[in-house]
Structure 1
């Protein structure tokens, strides 16, 4: 297939819902960095926070599933918002609606993009603990080498198209999800799980339902949905499903059911087995002492290997999601066309390389907590705008004639509006407040600066598009003479 044909045809339809589900199965491991963080704020109540967040994901994904079948050529959340907020006047260079749709896509890109740096740092950290020969290697060098190795490996795996990434997803899903479930179920079988650790530590003793604590809870919900609602990523591959109308809903809801069980099970198992104090003693890796307690001496090594496999899987998910978000933005004229270039296999390699370099720079920060906090700001913005896009699509007569093979229940636009306002402004305010308590204002400033960078990029892309349109008109007039 030539470049020209591929460019005109767009992303290739090479996968089914099972392959999309395999790639999205990296999402459940996003709970791992947050087990101790949530327990430090709300103790055992974190179990309910995860359950409510996955429920929120179901509510939002009814809307996203319908949008995916309304716009089968769109690419997930980035494509949905851009399709709905597309300029009504194509001759107008600077259209506010188009800017809003593009900003939603940029926010989504920023939500997924730093996952690569965060988990590359964690992979380097776990490798140092697993392999003695790495003990003397400087932390930053270890992080950079692990990041560069993983990024290069994933670029090569996905170079020939998404199906290669899905194959890797099948393998890593077994390597990561199976041990995750086994380690979480083991305490129930061995008798180490104690319900009193949950019922006796439901909320901190100094917890009160005042404004400060409600803001903390909203911030936790913002961070929770970054993990527990992220299985909408299966819709990102809408343009690459062989049957998008049936494949998208299947991949979304099966992955959601898996997430519901996994998030509740993991947090409950850790809390019931270790207690809140035990989790806080190992806030970044509470699965390790639980595995050692229930599975014996091999448990620790098994848990580390499981975590590394799981981290590679979530990096794969984020890498593909972020690169296709950039491709979608470039195709809609919301980013420079450089990011929309694909190789002969229909893979947006330019975007993947830029994302890898961007995350190598993030690794130099060496602080995954600050990166994650900034990233959650982008995800809140992306979800809020996308839900408002669904509401607009339900009422805008421009979209009334579009086929909707998958329809959300009647009146779902009001449910979407509720969760849209829950994201913007409530969760946004909450995450900003929580960031100020946890890591100061640095991560909030970084988050808003990265989001603001979209403005000059967007104006440049509009100028670039206008220039090409002018050249085409000149060429047409010359040919007609």
Structure 2
């Protein structure tokens, strides 16, 4: 049992890397929905407030469970917690989707770090970006495992420094063009809200649903502040503070960054540098030297979001293992209550993703898992809420149900369509394949459970004889 306790500010720190998740999507959203991409972030974070209030309520309803995966598994257990029935499978499957959503963040930002290093350091010009990304990922993952091996408190304290650095490049680079006069409001107000080719037919509605699903993957991810509810010093008071503080910070940063990029570069300017518009803004505002400084700060920010993903993914795997939905070895913790083995497995898996994937393709597959996890978790909340009034009023369960329907089937259809549209049917099917890899792992856990039951029965018979 982890005895370390964290304050709501430390819980906020763990989730403060979330605003960095806007980086892979600035140009992608602008290309599809133009100026409306600003409104997408407002809508998505508004959705995040609705969902995360439900998740915070869930956390207080089940203080002994470990995060969102734990809450779902606590609900979907069936009549007998030892039975491997459809209820147990649903709970584990939702937890796996949540793991699938957070886990690839390590690979995504390691690839981005490798790309930036390759472009900014001339000495690395002859080294492939993939090699740089793998080396960078291996070093970062190892250091973070060492830092966090003594529990959440140590990891959060180490993140205090990074948390300050994380928001500086996003805020400074967004405000600088406004101060220097390079921000042009006409780039936003003098153009159509949507691209000229946009029409409200079934195809474009599916695209918008896919965009909203990807926005949710970025802008609603601050529910990580609720994952550590059992570790707060005063959960009922600290959890709401952490959730609302992080939500407000995300609202400001997501909207500010997208607005600043469009106002400074214009839609066409963003599309010319879809993967690095912030670096282009750094050069415009501060020159090449400023761009180098910004790169260092951005990489520090990326390390923070990697830490957030590493902690969340490892705890999700531990929770699934404790509930009997993954092999038992992943439930083991060290003397500080930290699931180090799960953390190592997450790191190794992401090194493999770095070898075979690209940031855009990994984000596309990751969003599928997040939609599944949100949909099932929100339905579990609706099922569990009843007439309880803890953090949210009892009627909030209908808000949860509405968000559930938004995720499944609407967002799910949209994200599958946009994945197919951008990366082909094969890429979309790979994401689904990873999602359903849970099945053989679950069957193996079931086998372990059955073997334990046989041994237990044999021991009872021996004692009787």
> Which TM-score band (shorter chain)?
over 0.9
Partner of 2:406: 422
Q: Is residue 337 from structure 1 mapped to residue 337 from structure 2 by the alignment?
A: no
Partner of 1:446: 430
Q: Is residue 468 from structure 1 mapped to residue 452 from structure 2 by the alignment?
A: yes
User: How do residues 319-398 of structure 1 correspond to structure 2 at under 5 angstroms?
Assistant: 319-395=310-386
Aligned length: 464
Partner of 1:7: none
Partner of 1:74: 65
Separation in 1, partners of 2:354, 2:216:
24
Look up the SS of the partner of 1:94 in the other structure: coil
Pick aligned residue for 1:149 from 135, 139, 142 = 139
Pick aligned residue for 2:301 from 291, 299, 310 = 310
Q: Is residue 60 from structure 1 mapped to residue 48 from structure 2 by the alignment?
A: no
CA displacement at 1:299 relative to structure 2: 2.4
Partner of 1:47: 38
CA displacement at 1:459 relative to structure 2: 1.9
Separation in 1, partners of 2:190, 2:420:
30
User: How do residues 267-282 of structure 1 correspond to structure 2 at under 5 angstroms?
Assistant: 267-282=258-273
Separation in 2, partners of 1:432, 1:12:
42
Separation in 2, partners of 1:55, 1:64:
14
State the TM-score, normalized to the length of structure 2: 0.97
Look up the SS of the partner of 2:161 in the other structure: helix
Q: 470-479 or 143-152, which moves further after superposition?
A: 470-479
Partner of 1:432: 416
Partner of 2:227: 236
Q: Is residue 455 from structure 1 mapped to residue 439 from structure 2 by the alignment?
A: yes
Partner of 2:240: 249
Look up the SS of the partner of 1:440 in the other structure: helix
Partner of 1:206: 197
Partner of 2:119: 129
Look up the SS of the partner of 1:305 in the other structure: helix
Q: 63-72 or 408-417, which moves further after superposition?
A: 408-417
Partner of 1:6: none
The 8 Å contact of residues 40 and 212 in structure 2, kept in 1 or not, is answered as yes
The 8 Å contact of residues 385 and 394 in structure 2, kept in 1 or not, is answered as no
Q: Is residue 31 from structure 1 mapped to residue 22 from structure 2 by the alignment?
A: yes
Separation in 2, partners of 1:233, 1:357:
22
The 8 Å contact of residues 108 and 325 in structure 1, kept in 2 or not, is answered as yes
Q: Is residue 182 from structure 1 mapped to residue 172 from structure 2 by the alignment?
A: yes
Q: 242-251 or 187-196, which moves further after superposition?
A: 242-251
Q: 449-458 or 290-299, which moves further after superposition?
A: 290-299
The 8 Å contact of residues 7 and 238 in structure 2, kept in 1 or not, is answered as yes
Stretches of structure 1 that go unaligned for 5 or more consecutive residues are 1-9
The 8 Å contact of residues 62 and 71 in structure 2, kept in 1 or not, is answered as yes
The 8 Å contact of residues 74 and 238 in structure 1, kept in 2 or not, is answered as no
Partner of 2:161: 171
Separation in 1, partners of 2:113, 2:238:
32
Separation in 2, partners of 1:90, 1:227:
34
Partner of 1:4: none
CA displacement at 1:321 relative to structure 2: 0.3
State the TM-score, normalized to the length of structure 1: 0.93
Q: Is residue 223 from structure 1 mapped to residue 214 from structure 2 by the alignment?
A: yes
CA displacement at 1:13 relative to structure 2: 3.7
CA displacement at 1:179 relative to structure 2: 2.2
Look up the SS of the partner of 1:342 in the other structure: coil
CA displacement at 1:90 relative to structure 2: 3.1
Q: Deviations over 1:342-394 (max 9, x none)?
A: 11111101101111111111111141211110110000000000000000002
Separation in 2, partners of 1:58, 1:11:
29
Q: Deviations over 1:215-235 (max 9, x none)?
A: 000000000000000000111
Separation in 2, partners of 1:438, 1:299:
34
CA displacement at 1:474 relative to structure 2: 3.5
The 8 Å contact of residues 371 and 443 in structure 1, kept in 2 or not, is answered as no
Separation in 2, partners of 1:209, 1:63:
32
CA displacement at 1:140 relative to structure 2: 2.1
Look up the SS of the partner of 1:248 in the other structure: helix
Separation in 1, partners of 2:26, 2:189:
18
Look up the SS of the partner of 1:279 in the other structure: helix
CA displacement at 1:139 relative to structure 2: 2.1
CA RMSD of aligned residues (A): 1.5
Stretches of structure 2 that go unaligned for 5 or more consecutive residues are none
The 8 Å contact of residues 183 and 264 in structure 2, kept in 1 or not, is answered as yes
The 8 Å contact of residues 288 and 299 in structure 1, kept in 2 or not, is answered as no
The 8 Å contact of residues 24 and 255 in structure 1, kept in 2 or not, is answered as yes
